[in-house]
Amino acid sequence: QSVVTQPPSASGTPGQRVTISCSGSSSNIGENTVNWYQQLPGTAPKLLIYKNNQRPSGVPDRFSGSKSGTSASLAISGLQSEDEADYYCAAWDDSLNGVVFGGGTKLTVL
C-alpha cells in the first residue's frame, strides 16, 4: 500500500474537466514538490507536470497541477479520448529518503 493515495479510477466525457487527487503527508507532499506522470496503455510513463504546476514543453495547457498542504491535484480540461491512461503522482519522501509514487488512477473517457 502506497504512502501517497490516489483514487483508483476516474472518468469523464469528451470536453469535460476532470480532476485527480493525490493525498500524502508532511514527509512527502507537505515538504516537497509533486510531479505527475501519464502512462498510456503499453507504453513507458511520460512526465506531465513537475514542481507542482510546471508543464514540460509539448504538454498541452489542458493539463494543470496544483498543490495545497499535503495534497495535490491534476486537472484535465477539454477531455479527449487520447487522454485515457493511467496517471501517477510522485514526490520525494524525507522519512523514507526516496521517491514515493501514488498507486495510480486509471482515467476512462466515456
Partner 1 sequence: EVQLLESGGGLVQPGGSLRLSCAASGFTFSSYAMSWVRQAPGKGLEWVSGISASGATTYHADSVKGRFTISRDNSKNTLYLQMNSLRAEDTAVYYCAKSRLMVDTTQSDCWGQGSLVTVSS
Structure-block grid coordinates of residue 38: 501519464
Q: Which of 44, 61, 68, 82 binds partner 1 (CB under 8 A)?
A: 44
Q: In the set 38, 73, 79, 102, which binds partner 1 (CB under 8 A)?
A: 102
CA distance 7 to 60: 23
In terms of Cβ atoms closer than 10 Å to its own Cβ (0-12, 13-18, 19+), residue 46 is: middle
Which residue type, as a one-letter code, is found at position 40? L
Give the Cβ contact number of residue 10 at 10 Å: 17
Residue 99 interacts with partner 1 (CB under 8 A): yes or no: yes
Cβ 47 to partner 1 shortest distance, Å? 5
Which residues 2-21 are close enough to bind partner 1 by CB under 8 A?
A: 2
Least distance CB 106 / partner 1 (angstroms): 10
Q: Under the rule (CB under 8 A), what is the footprint of partner 1?
A: 2, 32-33, 35, 37, 39, 44-47, 50-51, 56, 86, 88, 90-92, 96-104
